[in-house]
Each structure stands twice: as structure tokens, then as C-alpha cells.
């Protein structure tokens, strides 16, 4: 993809250049999809909302500052998510996790993979510095509120939040290293 800015891509799209649409997809679809999955906690609904977002946002470009296309796309995505949420109200939302990105009825291989991931995650958690490990353990495995974790660990709330953030960052690195080692040994 050429590194064109959004304003140029919008101008090309409006002039009928189909490659401009591909470039707009490539640039914005992943963050928009992450946002929609975060709000809807359902992969399939997020895909439907993503489709609606692009259609509606690009059909209503009049009056939109092309330099602020990103904000416009997120605004449309937000409204699409809220619409979907209203339709969704009859059934409870699942927390974001395995179910949010898996098929609704995972097969045995997927189930086994998730169990394996959970075991791997616990093993890697043990490698974190104790304060970070403790915040994540209490938050993820005990479901405690941050203010309660902070009180339990006798630290300010912001410290507990920062430990969570740093711990997740480190876990992410460890996870990548672990996966790479796994791949090279198999």
C-alpha cells in the first residue's frame, strides 16, 4: 500500500478508484474490529457491525473532514455497536475471552487448544515479578476489583493498575517467545 493519507484516499475513493477502498480497509479494519469486539464481545456481530460501519460511513462522507476520517469511522462504529447491543439485550453478553473470538460451538481441537493456552498462561505468569503476578492473579483468577487489590497489597490504586499494565505487557512478550521456542522445537 502506498502511504497516502486518509484525505487522499477519500478523494480517490470518491473519484471511483477501487484500490482506494482496499487501502481504507487495510488501514482501518483491524482497529475498528478490535473496538467492535470490545463493545459487542461477539466475533460475528462485530463483523456485521464492521460491514455496516464502512457502508454507512462511506455513504455519508458529505460534510466529513477527510483529515478526520478515522474519528468519523469510529463514531459510526460506536453507533452501530450500540444498535447491535440493543438487539442483543435479550441474551446475556459473554466476557471477552475465548468465546469472543471462537466459533459459538468450538470443536474438540479448539477446546483442547484453549485448555493448553490456559495452562501455558499460568506457567508464564509464574515468571513475572511477584507484584505484577499478584495483581494479575487476583484480577483474573479471583475477579477482585482493583481498589480491593490495592487495599490488599497496601499500595495506591494507580500502582495496582500500572502493575497490571506492565504485567500484561511482559506476559505478551513471554508468550511470543514461548510460542517461537515451541515452533522451533516441533
Partner 1 sequence: MRPTDPRDDLCPDDVALALLYAGGRLSPGEAEAFERRLGEDQGTRDALCRAVELTQSLTGRPLRPRPDYRDRVRQRLRPPCGR
| Residues at the site binding partner 1, with contacts judged by CB under 8 A | 3, 5, 13-16, 18, 21-22, 25, 29-31, 33-35, 37-39, 41, 46-47, 50-51, 54-55, 58-59, 70-71, 74-75, 78, 82, 93-98, 101, 114, 117, 121, 143, 146, 158, 161-162, 164-165, 168-169, 171-172, 175-176, 179
- Minimum CB separation of residue 94 from partner 1 in Å reads 7
Q: Which is nearer to partner 1, 71 or 129 (CB)?
A: 71
Contacts of 144 (CB under 8 A, 6+ apart): 138, 152
- Which C-beta is closer to partner 1: that of 68 or that of 105? 68
Q: Is 167 left (phi over 0), alpha (psi -120 to 50) or beta?
A: alpha
Rounded Cα distance, 105 and 172, in Å? 27
C-alpha closest to that of 32 among 50, 20, 44, 59? 50
Of 3 and 154, CB closest to partner 1:
3
Q: Which three cell numbers stand for residue 40?
A: 459487542
Amino acid at each position: 500500500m502506498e502511504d497516502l493519507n486518509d484525505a487522499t484516499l477519500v478523494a480517490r475513493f470518491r473519484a471511483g478508484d477501487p484500490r482506494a477502498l482496499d487501502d481504507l480497509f487495510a488501514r482501518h479494519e483491524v482497529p475498528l474490529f478490535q473496538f467492535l469486539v470490545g463493545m459487542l464481545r461477539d466475533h460475528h456481530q462485530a463483523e456485521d457491525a464492521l460491514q455496516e460501519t464502512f457502508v454507512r460511513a462511506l455513504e455519508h462522507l458529505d460534510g466529513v473532514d477527510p483529515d478526520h476520517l478515522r474519528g468519523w469511522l469510529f463514531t459510526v462504529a460506536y453507533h452501530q455497536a450500540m444498535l447491535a447491543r440493543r438487539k442483543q439485550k435479550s441474551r446475556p453478553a459473554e466476557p471477552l475471552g475465548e468465546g469472543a473470538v471462537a466459533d459459538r460451538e468450538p470443536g474438540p481441537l479448539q477446546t483442547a487448544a484453549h485448555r493448553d493456552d490456559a495452562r501455558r498462561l499460568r506457567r508464564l505468569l509464574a515468571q513475572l515479578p511477584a507484584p505484577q503476578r499478584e495483581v494479575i492473579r487476583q484480577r483474573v483468577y479471583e475477579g477482585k476489583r482493583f481498589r480491593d487489590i490495592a487495599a490488599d497489597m497496601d499500595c495506591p490504586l494507580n500502582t495496582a493498575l500500572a502493575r497490571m499494565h506492565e504485567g500484561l505487557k511482559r506476559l505478551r512478550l513471554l508468550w511470543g517467545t514461548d510460542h517461537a521456542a515451541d515452533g522451533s522445537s516441533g
